[in-house]
Amino acid sequence: MTATSHALIGASLAAKIANPLIGIPLAFVSHFLADLTPHWDAGTNHRNKTKMRLRMEAVFDVLLGFALVAILFRSLAFDKPVYLLSMIITAQLPDWLEAPSSMFGFQVPPFSWMDWIGHRTQTRMQLPWGLVTQVVLVGLLVLFALGGPSQITTVLAYH
């Protein structure tokens, strides 16, 4: 899944699970569960992309995730910023740990292990359906975390 999806999943878990002893391990496990869902991400068709393009897409994806979390979960960001950031980073952590191996060829454990695991847990799908699956899945999780559709308007209108 995209880093944006993992960030939103981590934030959704932070909104619903206040205990970090439960939330942080769950955020880590959520990464692998989310990657089992058929999805599109920057790594889809990676052999047809330059390393520079992959890196630029990855940076954009991470920044987009943080921006969306800041908008949608701003009350949590003010109340528990360290916990929220911890949950986001933990939900993305397997990809961060895989990056030195997959993007820079640094084939040393634990980076090479995460690259190996990442390739076995990915269920990639082409656009547009690979993006549709994660928008639906993550959208439902965010809706649940924020209290349903009626609360989204309140969250977005919050000053």
The mean pLDDT value of the chain amounts to 88
pLDDT digits (tens, 9 = 90+) for 59-81: 999 999 999 999 999 988 889 99
pLDDT for res 123: 85
User: Helices marked H in 73-128 — which ranges?
Assistant: 74-79, 81-102, 111-121
pLDDT digits (tens, 9 = 90+) for 95-110: 888 877 777 777 888 8
Q: Describe the crossing of helices 81-102 and 111-121 by its angle, rounded to 10 degrees.
A: 90
Buried b (16+ CB within 10 A) or exposed e, 84-116: bbbbbebbbbbbebbbbbbbeeeeeeebbebbe
Q: Are the CB atoms for 134 and 37 separated by under 8 Å?
A: yes
Backbone phi, psi, residue 105, to 5°: 70, 20
pLDDT for res 157: 64
Q: CB count, 10 Å around CB of 56?
A: 13
pLDDT > 70? residue 152: no
